[in-house]
Structure formats: structure tokens, C-alpha cells
Structure 1
Amino acid sequence: MTLKRIPEGTTFVPATPDQEKRLSFDAPGLTVQDREKADLQTRCALMKQAVEEARLRAEAAEAYEKGVTFASSGSLGASSPLTVSQAVGKWCKKAERPESCVRLAEALARLESRGALKTVESDSSSEEALPCPDLHPESYARFHAIDTSFSVEGGLKQLGNVDELRKQLAAERNQLRLWIIKAKQDWEERKGHRGETNEQEYYIASIGETLGPNRDYQAEANIGKGVFSSVFRCKHVGTKTDVALKFVRSNKMMRKAAEKEVETYRKLAKVAAKEDHEGAQYIMLLAPPETFDHQGHLCLVFDLLKCDLRTALTKYGQGKGLPLQTVAQYARQLFLALRCLRKIKLIHGDLKPDNVLITLSKTEIKLCDFGSAMDVGEAVKTPYLQPRFYRAPEVILGSGYDTQIDLWSSGVTLFELSCGKILFTGKSNNSMVRQMLEVSGAFPKRLATKGEFHAKHFNSEGEFLLHDPTSITGIRDILPMKRYEKVRQPVGNMLDQVFKNPPPNSDPKTQERLMPRVADLVAKLLVLDPAERLTPEDALAHPFFQKDK
């Protein structure tokens, strides 16, 4: 493959403000302002922005590399030299690649029209041939087009180690994840109290107000607000379809967090159903047109659902839990959703009753709020991932973790659905560990003595260090694990209240039949060792979901 240097004196069409702002596949063009006098930092910033924002990096990179390689070898059957975009387009069509790769070919074609890329000759022995670095191809294409004096070879030399750039990008992504986690933690801590939330950043729609770029939606009711957004029930003026519009706060970091969440939803829409069609049905996705901007607020569009499970516990369970037959129905769907996430190696990271929605028919649930979601390979270590009451022990200790942390949260959620009570209510991570010991038994020494944060809770012998916030001396009590070899508060005992105070509309015989089963399922989901904890597949095979003949 031969890439043509941009001729000296070449000028570029200035980008519109919108094009400058959105360096992604969805941008109307690849034009950038002339960067002839820009320094290296500016160039790197543009390149990093393109890499961070572009979706489907791996597929597009493969299409770029394979298209050029196949064209060079003659495998695409072309009788004459192909342009890079033609090569990529032909390979995408031959390999049945998705539309994103086709858009890549179109983007490259626009560069070719400006003379930035050359045709791919069958003979690739040219001395100037340069292998494509392992970066997003569109970013690589932009890299050539930044200014007239910035050649490929010289640019790479100036950038130095591309691996360092990747590391820097990864660090920035991790910083954003940590910021999201911290923001959610602070929001939970401030609930019910006056905090520092800037109310002016929220969008407040008036009832009857028309919203959207074409005024397609009419606001009908305020659903609520969270740390990142305000949500309104709206109706599409033309189709009369009910939707939920989520308006992100007018805050730079909040918007970046929301854009990350949108990327996750788009990934789910692309791969979830392919990996697990059944499980994908119980995962919330964006509804057309997915997003739009309204008065400086990014807006996400969702189908309108009934309510979340916490609201359902109050409204339908009256604080006594839901009928166990209903719990089984919802729990099975939740484990199907978690099975799907496990297959695509995506951690939800924020599973709790608030983030499980019930459909309007009340027969199905949808797992929602993927703002904290991350790929297993990109998991960040912080003791504050997940809501505290639903936080897995491996997160608290700073051990390596994966999708199994969501199974722990599902166990706590399942307990709550069954009786209406929150299982763990520790005011700190240390008090959470204390309560876990009571319910799940002793921590194995190999778990208690490893992890980035384990020393905050266990000594070198694996004995628990109890922190008493009322202590004057600050000396911690040492509680040996022998004390917890036998579970002190079995889940089954705590669920006995289901019989004593059953939820409305529950059948006594069904409650009696299912109670020991749900207690056993919860106990197996709350195993301290994630390797011994039930997987979604294990949970789905549990007797709790079996129908008696």
C-alpha cells in the first residue's frame, strides 16, 4: 500500500463549527481547518479526539487493513488499481461487514477526492509503503489531512511512541469512568439532603412544551431526575407514540458521560441480540432517533415504560415485597439480561431495583442505565463502583473483578424484591464487610489478604479490622474469621417474615413453596468468592424457576 503525501500548498475547506465539534463517522464531512501553523499538541488533541469518539474501532481497522491487503494481493479480483476507499468498500461487501465499515470507505473517498490518498497498486514493494498503525483508520486518515507540511513519516516521528498515546487515551477514559462513579456515589450520599447540585444545569420542560429539533415531541409529565439528567414523559406529535426523553445536564463532564453511555447503548444494539437474542430482549436500548440536542442539552430517547422496581415495591408491594411468583418472573428475565452481558463481556456496574424497569404491561422488565457500564478488559479499580448497598466484596477489597459483581448485586436485589427490605445497609465499606460476614460467612484468607484496598478491612492473617466511627482512640477491634465460620444470619431466617407479613395478592401456598427456593438462590448469589458465586446460567437453572408438575 502506498500513501500519497499531501502536496505543499494544499488548502482545505474550513470546517463548520458543528464539524469541528463532532469528529466522528456521523459528521457530514472530514474537512478540518488548515493546521499549517498548529503545534504538535494541537495535532495530538485532534487525533485523540477522533480516536475517542469514533465507534467500532476494531471492525473499521480490520476493514482498512484487509481491504488494502486484499487489493494489493489481487484477491479482490480487480482488473485495475483500486483507491483505498474502493478496496475497503469491496472487502466490506465481500465479507458482509456492517454499515460502519462502508461509512469508513466513504470517509476515505472524501480524502481521496482531495488527493490525500493514493490508489492501491498490486505491487506493494514501493520504498514509501508504510504500514497502517494500530489506530482507528478514520483517525489515521485525519492524521494525514491535518496540515500541508505534516507528512506521514514525519508526523509519526514527531508523535513518538504511539503506544504512549494509547496509554494516555486509556488513562483519560479511566478518569471519566472514575468521575462518573464518584458523581453517582455523591448523589446517593446527598439523597434526602440539601447538596451542591446546580439546579440551573437541569432542563425543566413545561407541560405542553414542544421539544426536539423539529418540535416532534410534546412534554406531558415530569418523570424524575438523577445525578446526570432530568426525564420527561412525552408524546410524538405525529405518531402519538409515548416516549421518555432524558435531558442531560448542561455540564461538560455530564455530557461526556452521557456520550459514553450512548456509545454503550449503540454497542448493545449492534452485538447483544447476535450473542444472546433471548437475553437482549430484557435490555433497555435507545429508541429512534436515539439522540438530539435541545437548547444546549443532549437528549436521549427511550420507549416509555411503567416504573422501576423500587417504585413497584412501594406501589404494588406496600413495603412487603412482591408475590414470589412475580419475583420469579422478573428475576428470570434479569438473569437472561445478565447472561447476555456476560457473553459480550460488559459489566453493568449499577444494578439495583431503581435500574430495572417494568414494561407498561407489567409482564416484563428491562435492565437500564448503562452510564457506569464498562468492558471487562477496561474495568477500573475503585472501592466506590456500584451503589454501596449493592456493592460486591471484590470491589470493596480492590481485587480483580468482572461481570460477577453484577451477580452479587442481583442477589441483593432479589432479596429486596422478596421481602421489601434492603439486605445490607452499611454506612461505609467497612460496615458493609461486617454485614457480609454475618450473612455470607467468613472470608477465605486468600481473598481477605489480597486486593488493593484489603488492608483497610483485614490484617495480614485475614482477620477483620472493625472500624468504629465513634471510637475516641481510633484503635480497631480485631474480629477473627473463626467467629463467622458458621453463618450467623442465614438468608432463609431473614425471609421468614414473608410468611408472617405476606405482600398483597400473594397466594399462601405459592409463597410457602417458593420461599425456601428463593432463599437458597439468594444465598448462592451472595457467595463471597466470585469464582464460586452463581453465574447467570447457573441461576437460570435453579429450582426457583422450575415449574412444578
Structure 2
Amino acid sequence: MSAGEIPPPGSVPVWMELGDHGKRVQRGAERRSRSPLRRRSVERDRFGRARPRRSTSRERDRRRRRSRDEDKFKGSLSEGMKADQDSSSEEVMEDFDAEEEDEEALIEQRRQQRLAIVQKYKAVNEDSNMGSMASEPSSPQSSTRSRSPSPDDILERVAADVKEYERENVNTFEANIKAKHNLIAQEKEGANPKKPSAPDMFTESDDMFAADFDSARLRAAGIGKDFKENPNLRDNWTDAEGYYRVNIGEILDKRYDVYGYTGQGVFSNVVRARDTARAGQEVAVKIIRNNELMQKTGLKELEFLKKLNDADPDDKFHCLRLFRHFYHKQHLCLVFEPLSMNLREVLKKYGKDVGLHIKAVRSYSQQLFLALKLLKRCNILHADIKPDNILVNESKTILKLCDFGSASHVADNEITPYLVSRFYRAPEIVIGKPYDYGIDMWSVGCTLYELYTGKILFPGSSNNHMLKLAMDLKGKMPNKMIRKGLFKDQHFDQNLNFLYIEVDKVTEREKVTVMSTINPTKDLLADMIGGQRLPEDQRKKVMQLKDLLDGTLMLDPAKRISINQALQHPFIQEKI
């Protein structure tokens, strides 16, 4: 085409042929008259030339949305054009607004449909969970699945329950136990004469809080005598075993006036004293034995106690409070809050062969699980939980977990078959499998059974016997767990059959019985209820306790109930 010739129609873009007003009219006319098929199939470039486009459904949708987005602002001030109230422009914008509103309405409709479907399935799931909970009211898994409070809410609720129990039972502890004694006595009326009870294996206990400690040893240590400093004994403060020779009336660290003796344990002896620097406040002073191993153990306990106390400034988690420490005559001394007695002594004095009231056991359970929660927060394993290491106050309503001499960081767990006192030792320790917080949960389960029944759950005479008793309750240990044990060969053969080692009653020789299968024979609920005609509310709580114990005593620690699950269990959450 030569210069000066008029180009044929269609070869020049519309924007070159029309003025401002014409352009807007043209756009409106094109928008109203343009065929949807034509829009989808042909698109012109900036010079008005038609170019082919892919016509897939996805591309067509994308073009349609892009076209609407581009048209949205054309003819408006956003393009730098003058505002014009032209009627045709208004019609175009009205058409676009109507199309946009239709699309938004469709999107909103689909969104509401999706929400309705989600709510429908959510309601179905909740109904099924509630149904399973109704069919298994005592299952820890079902009870925790249906609850949704936060962990902090759960802890607050349990702590509030503990406080309420303390207020309501200041003077009822002994009365409740007497009521339990009477129930059991009624069932025994007319029965066979009472068999002589088994010898108390804790009578000669060397536990640090033993009530009936050997009086001859006390006299040898000078307990009960008025203290008079003997210059000839100034270099003889420690006996041959490394224990400090305690004297009533002496002053420790220029402030602690010793007035009583509590007992002696493996690591130390404990005295009662009054702090003259704190207006005679009563304290318990634990005096560590003076040898290298015991000093090292004492310093480790000091470290863990400080960590636990710092993590619980408000004293809500029931671990013993450490006031301070000092050295006296080369002995490390730890100063604690004073508490009345330990649960071993409580059982001996009030619940021998009978146990404690279910109300007390529930509150003690709550407090022990709170202590386990704090231990886990601080990455600490106690590794020696038992009634002897749990102290109570005068009213027997508040307990504190004590004696952290065996404690360790969870990452420093040494594989040894003799960790934890034997009756409370988890099976993974016995077979030499790596362990964690589950060993303390197992010990708590054994302790709670003992608190309610007054009897030791697993009174094994050896590690092998402990495994047999545990499997009598729960069945044979899973092969997968056995294979992971470093000491499995001591208790299982190559085919993973249990090798039960016992002494023949006739020949008094050791014999080994190969057991390929072990079926549960011990009935936990029957042992706990016995012949008692319990009131319905108490019977319900005992059944819940049995269910909780089933969770704490799983042989496989991976299947054992967690601390959070235990805190949400009906036995813990539901009041009597």
C-alpha cells in the first residue's frame, strides 16, 4: 500500500480510527454484540491482526477471567481518562457488574456447599466418637479422643481438684480408712480364721525415711543423747560407712538446731531441725555420706532439685522443695521443707493389707501425674518412684515426690538391669532395652495399686521372677520388644520362649521351665475389689482405677499410657 492511500477497513486498529468518545461507544457495542464463541476462538493483537489461540477448557476459563479483569477498569479514571457520564459507558459497567456479581454468587454458593459437607462429616465423626466412648466408658484412648481442653486447662483442673480435696479432707483421712476396714471386716465374718500375714519385707528397711530403724544402730550413732561436744571426737564425725554421726542438740551451719532423727538410707541420713535464722522454722536436713560416690550422687541430686524447683516457682507440681545446701564436717547437707511421713509408713500405720480409701488414692494419683509432668518438662527421669520416696503432710492430703539420688537426664540413661527398686522396675529395664519416661509411669502404676490394696503388685524375688509376674498379668512380652533387649538371653531362648527360673520346692534345686506362651492369669479387678460390697460410686471409681492401671502397666512402653492421657483419664477427671 503506497503512502497517502486509505487503508482498507479492518487493517487499522479501531483506536486509530475513533476519538475518545467513539472508542468508549465502540467498546460497549463490541462487548454487547461479541459472540462468546468468537471471543474464545479469536483474539487480535495490538495491530488488529487475528492470531490463533489454544481452545482448551482451562485456557478458555483463564481468558474469560483475564478479559473481565482487563475490562473492569477501562473507561475509568484509573487509566488517566476523563470522567464521563456517558450513558453507553454506564450500560457497559452495569453489564460487567452484573456478570461479576453472578460469578461471586456462584463462588459463594459453592463455598457454602463445601462447608455444609465438612460440617456433616465432622458431626458424624463426633457422633461415632461419643458412641465408642459410651460403649467403653473406661477406655483411656476413647476418653482422651473426645475431649478437647488444652493441656494447661487440664493441669489447672487437676490442681484445683487437689486443692479441693485438701480443704475437704483435712480431718477425714483416718475415718475414711476405718470405713474401708469395716467393709472388709464384714466380708470376712464367718470365714476361715485369718491366716498369719506374710512377713513384712520392709520391716528391716534401710530406707531413708524408715519409721522403725534399727534402735541399736541409733544408739551407736548417739541418737537420743544430749549433745555435749567431746574434744576427743572432733576428728571422728563420720562412721566407718561414711555416715555422719548425728547428735541431738547440735547446731549445723550455725543455724540449724537438730531436735530429731528421721532415718537412714543408702545415700544419707536425715535429721529434723529448727532454723534459728528463720524464727525456728522446721526443716529436714539430708546429710550425704562422706565418700566419693555418694558425694557425686548428692551433687547430682542437688542439680536436679534446683532445676525442678526453678521450673515450678509456684510449687504446683508436687516435687520436694529444696531450700538451700551447705557443707558440714566434709558432708554435703541438703535443707528441705519438712513433711510428716512417707507413704510406706502411712500404709503400715493405717492401711496394712487393706490399703487406703479410693478418695485418697485418686488425689495421690493426680499429684503423682503432676510430678511426672514436671519431670518430663525438665527432661528428667526419677528412676526410683515407690511409696518410700513419696512424702505427705500432717493431714495426709498433699504429697511430694522426693529422693532424686537415682535421677538422670533422659538422654543419659545407662542400660543396667538394676535401675529402680525391683518391685517397681519396668520390664524394659529388666531385658536391657533403651528406656525413657515410661519407666516412671510403670513405677507409678505399681505404687497406685499398692496404695489402694495395701499389697505389692509384683513381689518378685529376681528380675526373672519380675518378668513372670508381669506376664501373668498382661500375657507374653511381644517378640519385637524382646529382640531389642541387651539382656534377652538371660530370660529368653533363641526362639524367644521365656525361660522361667525357679527353685524346686522338693529338691530345692534351680530348674528352668521353657514357656512358649503365657496367658494372663491375674485378675486385677478381683484383687482390688475382692469381696467388698462397695457403694456404687466407689465401685465405679475402682473400676476406673483398674482401667488406668491397665494403661500404665503395658509391657511395651510404646503402648503405655502417656502423662497427658493419664491426666485426662476418667479416674483423674471425674469426682467421686
TM range (shorter): 0.5 to 0.7
Aligned positions of 1:146-157 closer than 5 A? none
Alpha-carbon separation, structure 1, partners of 2:501 and 2:469: 13
Q: Which has the larger radius of gyration?
A: 2
Q: Which residue of 2 aligns with 1:537?
A: 564
* Residue of structure 2 aligned with 1:311, choices 345, 348, 353: 345
Deviations 1:50-92 (A, max 9, x none): xxxxxxxxxxxxxxxxxxxxxxxxxxxxxxxxxxxxxxxxxxx
CA contact (8 A) 2:464 2:500 kept: yes
Q: TM-score, normalized by length of structure 1?
A: 0.59
Deviations 1:432-460 (A, max 9, x none): 11111111212111112321001111123
Q: Which residue of 1 aligns with 2:432?
A: 398
CA contact (8 A) 2:269 2:287 kept: yes
Q: For residue 207 of structure 1, report the CA deviation from its aligned partner.
A: 2.0
Alpha-carbon separation, structure 2, partners of 1:225 and 1:498: 39
Q: Which residue of 2 aligns with 1:228?
A: 267
CA contact (8 A) 2:356 2:454 kept: yes
Q: For residue 210 of structure 1, report the CA deviation from its aligned partner.
A: 1.6
Alpha-carbon separation, structure 1, partners of 2:500 and 2:481: 17
Q: Which residue of 2 aligns with 1:202?
A: 243
Q: Which runs of 5+ in 1 are unaligned?
A: 1-185, 501-506
Q: Which runs of 5+ in 2 are unaligned?
A: 1-204, 218-237
Counterpart of 1:518 in structure 2: which amino acid?
Answer: L
Q: For residue 205 of structure 1, report the CA deviation from its aligned partner.
A: 2.3
Alpha-carbon separation, structure 1, partners of 2:513 and 2:456: 26
Q: For residue 534 of structure 1, report the CA deviation from its aligned partner.
A: 0.7
Alpha-carbon separation, structure 1, partners of 2:521 and 2:319: 36
Q: Which residue of 2 aligns with 1:296?
A: 330
Q: Which residue of 1 aligns with 2:522?
A: 489
Counterpart of 1:229 in structure 2: which amino acid?
Answer: S
Q: TM-score, normalized by length of structure 2?
A: 0.56
Q: Which residue of 2 aligns with 1:217?
A: 256
Q: For residue 225 of structure 1, report the CA deviation from its aligned partner.
A: 0.7
> Does residue 250 of the first structure (1) align with residue 287 of the second (2)?
no
- The CA RMSD measured in Å over matched residues stands at 2.6
Aligned positions of 1:511-526 closer than 5 A? 511-526=538-553
Instruction: Specify the SS of the correspondent of 1:372.
Output: coil
Residues 409 and 498 of structure 1, relative CA distance in 2, 3 Å threshold: farther
> Does residue 360 of the first structure (1) align with residue 360 of the second (2)?
no
Instruction: Specify the SS of the correspondent of 1:244.
Output: strand
Counterpart of 1:257 in structure 2: which amino acid?
Answer: T
Q: Which residue of 2 aligns with 1:281?
A: 317
Q: For residue 335 of structure 1, report the CA deviation from its aligned partner.
A: 0.4
Deviations 1:121-157 (A, max 9, x none): xxxxxxxxxxxxxxxxxxxxxxxxxxxxxxxxxxxxx
Q: Which residue of 2 aligns with 1:241?
A: 281
Residues 210 and 436 of structure 1, relative CA distance in 2, 3 Å threshold: same
Q: For residue 187 of structure 1, report the CA deviation from its aligned partner.
A: 6.7
Deviations 1:367-393 (A, max 9, x none): 111111111111000000000000000
| Total equivalences in the alignment | 344
Alpha-carbon separation, structure 1, partners of 2:509 and 2:448: 39
State the identity %. 38
CA contact (8 A) 1:449 1:459 kept: no
Aligned positions of 1:109-120 closer than 5 A? none
> Does residue 478 of the first structure (1) align with residue 514 of the second (2)?
yes
* Residue of structure 2 aligned with 1:457, choices 491, 495, 510: 491
* Residue of structure 2 aligned with 1:381, choices 415, 427, 434: 415
Deviations 1:514-543 (A, max 9, x none): 111111111211100101101111111111
> Does residue 347 of the first structure (1) align with residue 381 of the second (2)?
yes
Residues 243 and 498 of structure 1, relative CA distance in 2, 3 Å threshold: farther
Counterpart of 1:262 in structure 2: which amino acid?
Answer: L
Residues 198 and 462 of structure 1, relative CA distance in 2, 3 Å threshold: farther
Q: Which residue of 2 aligns with 1:499?
A: 532
Alpha-carbon separation, structure 2, partners of 1:372 and 1:338: 15
Alpha-carbon separation, structure 1, partners of 2:276 and 2:239: 31
Instruction: Specify the SS of the correspondent of 1:499.
Output: coil
Instruction: Specify the SS of the correspondent of 2:447.
Output: helix
CA contact (8 A) 2:391 2:399 kept: yes
